[in-house]
Structure 1
Amino acid sequence: MLLKVLLYSFLLQFAVVLNWYLASLALGIDLSLAAFIFLVPVVSTIAMLPISIGGIGLRENSLVFIMVAMGAANAKAALCSLLILFMLIIVGIVGGITYIVRSYFEGKHAEADEENIKS
């Protein structure tokens, strides 16, 4: 069971790395996948510092700083960081809507189950 969970966590983290890598490729940034395997955990760790709300600003600035140090253009690195922020916001909105709708429908099912039990 533990190995299965560990495998899933590695797959999820690799999906995040791949997402950031593909976003950079879409913007014409020529960094390797290996660079993003290093970059994503470092930037994500910096974003967890409790000095901003949700890591906004920390994530973007650290991503730009590291990408420029690796050879990316400053403007493209900034655009990539904003694209990643936009993707995170969209995923959060979809997750929030799903959470709200799911709890609404689960409440309806619970009421229907109670009525079936009573009758």
Structure 2
Amino acid sequence: MEIDTDCGISDAAMTVDGHDAAQHRVGTLQNLPSELLMPIFADVVLTGRDLKALRLTCLRFPPFVVQRLFETVGISKVWRDCQAFFNIASNPELAKHVRRLVWYEMRGTFANLNSFTMASSATDPTTLP
């Protein structure tokens, strides 16, 4: 049994309705030409969650989804947002896709906000614990 390392599809001799499984692979998403995958993954109906799942599904998909997935990056005073931003910024393969940086300003008074912000997590905002 041979496994396709790109998408985990087995080439084992299986039958579906009396036909060889290889005949049915032709119609799978993984086997579509790049010219067809690009508009499919560019569809605005796909959410960030969908794109993240597609990115992890098959080694062939990330080049089609990372541009859209990392096109806009949000950041706020919340430590988790800052950590995500610095992780993306420190990865050249992801950072090159960022086109928009959105600052989220939090409204109201938050008595316990200090425990969630970068200022309380590190003295140097570029250094993550």
Where relative contact order (Cα < 8 A, 6+ residues apart) is larger, the structure is 1
TM-score by shorter chain over 0.5: no
Flag the structure with higher helix content.
Answer: 1
Flag the structure with higher strand content.
Answer: 2
Which structure's CA Rg is the greater one? 2
Q: Scaled by the length of structure 2, what TM-score is found?
A: 0.27
